[in-house]
A = this chain, B = another copy of it.
Amino acid sequence: MNPRAVAVAGATGVVGRQMLKTLEDRNFPIKSLKVLASERSKGKTLTFKGEEVPVEVLSEDSFKGVDIALFSAGGGTSKKYAPCAAKDGCVVVDNSSAWRMDPEVPLVVPEVNPGDIQKHKGIIENPNCSTIQMVVVLKPLHDAAQITRVVVSTYQAVSGAGSAALNELAEQSAAVLNGEAGGHSVFPHTIAFNCIPQIPQKDAFTENGYTSEEMKMVNETKKILGDANIRVTATTVRVPVFNCHSESVNVETVKKLTADQARALLRQAPGVIVEDDLDNQLYPLAVRATGKWDTFVGRIRDDISHPSALDMWIVSDNLLKGAALNAVQIAEYL
């Protein structure tokens, strides 16, 4: 691959920093690097491959001469600047949800639908974190047995809500351990030693009673797997975990797959590691997945409540495979 001129927009955020680290860790061939952020971060520097890179203020002119821009700056910023970048001939990989369900914009997980990348018209969308790790595991099962329905409950880490959320969990936890109440401003309720069945923490509401995060899992799964007949229901829950999302997933298929057959398929699947030995207390764990590029799956069982279904437990680093890594992998395909 020829070295590229790369920009990272929203570079000072939790995911933006992970994007820089992932470009570095995967030795992405870079000709030039721009790190872009809002006015607030003016004067800051970020480190890339041991060198200080000054943060530039994101503007409509930021993308001239840039080949690939990774965006992780929120939907509003993407909507404003990604089209400018695309107009200047830059390909945007966007981590916001701005155009995820736009039929003109590919929504890509490279292990699942790499072919969709080439259909882009300047913008490629990175799916939602909780969807990515699920579809990486669902893909080989769908290919082998045709998934009809998915019932998923998530156990989502706070890192997806940014650095203020990480601080809130740490500070609140310390307060509770010291017998104090601890305030909250990021999350709608105490997250320390609690589970909150609402994601995102603001503007979560949709008309059918699902949260927007839940509807992302419903709709994005169909689009990425390229099958509008897959029915999904999701309950997305924030848990007091710093990083890595866990998911309890029930999968119904047309063709009966045994747990053994599913394990065999998943052992061959790209980006998937099977950790499934309950006798030896081996199964995916959030604390062990941090910093890993793979998605981990275990507790794979023949669902005893259904003639053709499986239960499983899926864990991945929501900042990496769920965000930064998936975006960099898309960029690698470009």
Contacts and interface: CB of A to CB of B under 8 A. Distances in A.
Contact of A235 (B194, B240, B248, B279): B248
Nearest to A309: B233
A170 B210 CA distance: 34
Interface size for chain A: under 10, 10 to 19, 20 to 34, or 35 or more residues? 35 or more
A9 interface: no
B241 A237 contact: no
A46 to B, nearest CB: 24
Contacts of A293: none
Contacts of A170: 177
A239 B155 contact: yes
A135 B153 CA distance: 19
A150 B305 contact: yes
A197 B283 contact: yes
A303 interface: yes
A190 interface: yes
Contacts of A283: 197-198
Interface of A: 149-151, 153, 155, 169-170, 173-174, 177, 188-190, 193-198, 204-205, 208-211, 218, 231-233, 235, 237, 239-242, 246, 248, 250, 259, 278-279, 281, 283-287, 298-306, 309, 311, 313
Given A211-B278, A218-B304, A235-B313, 11 more contacts: A151-B305, A174-B177, A188-B281, A189-B281, A189-B285, A195-B241, A204-B278, A208-B302, A209-B278, A235-B248, A239-B240
14 contacts: A169-B193, A189-B285, A190-B287, A195-B241, A205-B279, A209-B301, A209-B302, A210-B304, A218-B305, A233-B304, A233-B305, A233-B306, A235-B299, A240-B241
